[in-house]
Amino acid sequence: MSLLTLTDLTVLRGICPVVDQATLAVASGEVVGLIGPNGAGKTTLMRAALGLLPHGGRSSLDDIPAAQRARNVAWLPQSREIAWPVTVETLVMLGRVPHLSAGQRPSDADRAAVTEALEAMDLITFRSRAATELSGGEQARVLIARALAQQTPLILADEPVAGLDPGHQIATMQAFRTLAAEGTATLVSLHDLGLAARHCDRLVLMDRGRIVAEGRPEFVLKRENLRDTFGITAHLSVGPDGLIFQPLETRR
């Protein structure tokens, strides 16, 4: 069942299309990787899909009222803002806001969801610390935990693992995979093609606003696409647990 359908999504800046007629669908149980060079339009596509930007074309999230939409999809933006030195637990609890009516206090179910998210992100020992005192990587994990605590069937994440150490990068992608096994759909934009190759069911390759390739990682990451879009050569092979991908040299 498709949890996100984009049909001819177009975002214009002036007359220039930053996202040009993008069509894609993300089904339940999938982890879809959105890849492409800087400025390809990945962030813009995701924000437009969520209704945060005016756009042409259609997103399946368009007509849903804001409160309902917040229960359907969690958004993890690239800018990792934490404005105040609140505790990690408080911050992750913000993910439960869509499930709380006005003035309602968090219930045991909410606290359980928060604990689960903290465990998935290996943050249990940090739960009472001020979020602003943590390192950049730790803060990133806190924000991911917030999105996980929202317990939505769909997650859109913009560069969630940038700046994390390899262990936590892999753990995050594995967390998405675990959720996928339970039916969650995830659209995650990544710069690390190795991670994308290894942990995503499908890849969507964007270049200059257009979706130029879509499908299984070994198909999308073929030599021509790498050369034309990223200007690199790479090593791609199938290992015992999944694809192994390593960029090698630039080539234009």
Partner 1 sequence: MNRALIPVLSSLVAILFLVSLLTGPAGFGPGESLRALLSPQSDAITLVMREIRLPRAILAVLVGVSLGLSGAALQGYLRNPLAEPGLIGVSGSAALGAVIALHSGLAASFVLALPLAALTGALISTLLILALAGPRGSSMTLILAGIAISALAGALLSLALNLSPNPFATAETVFWLLGSLADRSFTHVWIALPFMALGWVLLLSLTRPLDALTLGEDAAQSLGIRVDRARLTLIVGIASCVGAATAVAGAIGFVGLVVPHILRPIVGAQPGRLLPASALGGAALVLAADIATRLILPERDLKLGVLMALVGAPLFLHLIYKTRRESL
The residues binding partner 1 (CB under 8 A) are: 47, 50, 52, 66-71, 73-77, 79, 81-87, 90-91, 94-95, 97-98, 100, 102, 130, 143, 146, 150
* Residue 31 or 142 having the CB closest to partner 1: 142
CA atoms of 184 and 42, how far apart (whole Å): 21
**Closest distance of CB 11 from partner 1, Å:** 15
Helix (H), strand (E), coil (C) string for 146-179: HHHHCCCCEEEEECCCCCCCHHHHHHHHHHHHHH
CB of 226 to partner 1, least distance (A): 31
Please say whether the beta carbons of 203 and 196 come within 8 A: yes
Of 96 and 199, CB closest to partner 1: 96
Could you tell me the smallest distance in angstroms from the CB atom of residue 70 to partner 1? Answer: 3
User: Which tokens is 156 given?
Assistant: 């859109």
Which residue number, 75 or 126, has a Cβ lying nearer to partner 1?
75
Nearer to partner 1, 11 or 203 (CB): 11
- Nearest approach in angstroms of CB 83 to partner 1 is 4
CA distance 13 to 236: 36
Burial of 27 from C-beta contacts in 10 A (0-12 / 13-18 / 19+): middle
